Structure 1
Amino acid sequence: MIRIENVAVTLGESRILDGVDASIPDGQFVGLVGPNGAGKTTLLRAMNGALSPDSGRVLVGDDAMADLSSKAGSRRVATVPQETTLSFDFDVRNVVAMGRNPYRTRFGNDADGRTGDAVENGGRDVVERAMERTDVARFADRSITAVSGGERQRVLLARALAQDTPVLLLDEPTASLDINHQVRTFELVRELVREGKTVVAAIHDLNLAAHYCDTLLLLDSGSVLASGPPAEVLAERTLREAFDARAVVSSHPVTGSTYVTALPEQSARREGDGRIHVVGGGGTVSRLLYVLSAAGYDVSVGVLNEGDSDLETARLLGLETVVEEPFAPIGSDALESLEAEIRDSDLTVLGDVEIGSGNLVNLEAVSEADSVVVVEERPFEARNYAGSTAVALYRELCERGRVVAPDDLLSAVEDAFAGESR
Structure 2
Amino acid sequence: MHDVKWIRDNPDAFDAGLAKRGVAPHAADVLKIDEERRALISELQDVQSRRNDASKAIGKAKAQGDDAGAQALIDEVAKLKSVIQDGEDRQRQFDERIEAVLSGLPNMPLDDVPVGEDEDGNVEVRKHLEPRQLNFEAKEHFDLGEAGGLMDFETAAKLSGARFVVLKGQLARLERALANFMLDLHTTEFGYTEVAPPMLVRDAAMYGTAQLPKFVDDQFKTGAPDDEDAHWLIPTAEVPLTNLAREAIHSEEELPLRFTAFTQCFRKEAGSAGRDTRGMIRMHQFAKVELVSITTPETSNDEHERMTQCAEEVLKRLELPFRTMVLCTGDMGFGARKTYDLEVWLPGQGAYREISSCSQCGDFQARRMAARYRPTGEKSTRFTHTLNGSGLAVGRAMVAVLENYQQADGSVTIPDVLKPYMGGIETLELGASDA
Higher relative contact order, chain-length normalized (CA < 8 Å, sep 6+) = 2
Q: Which TM bucket (shorter chain)?
A: under 0.3
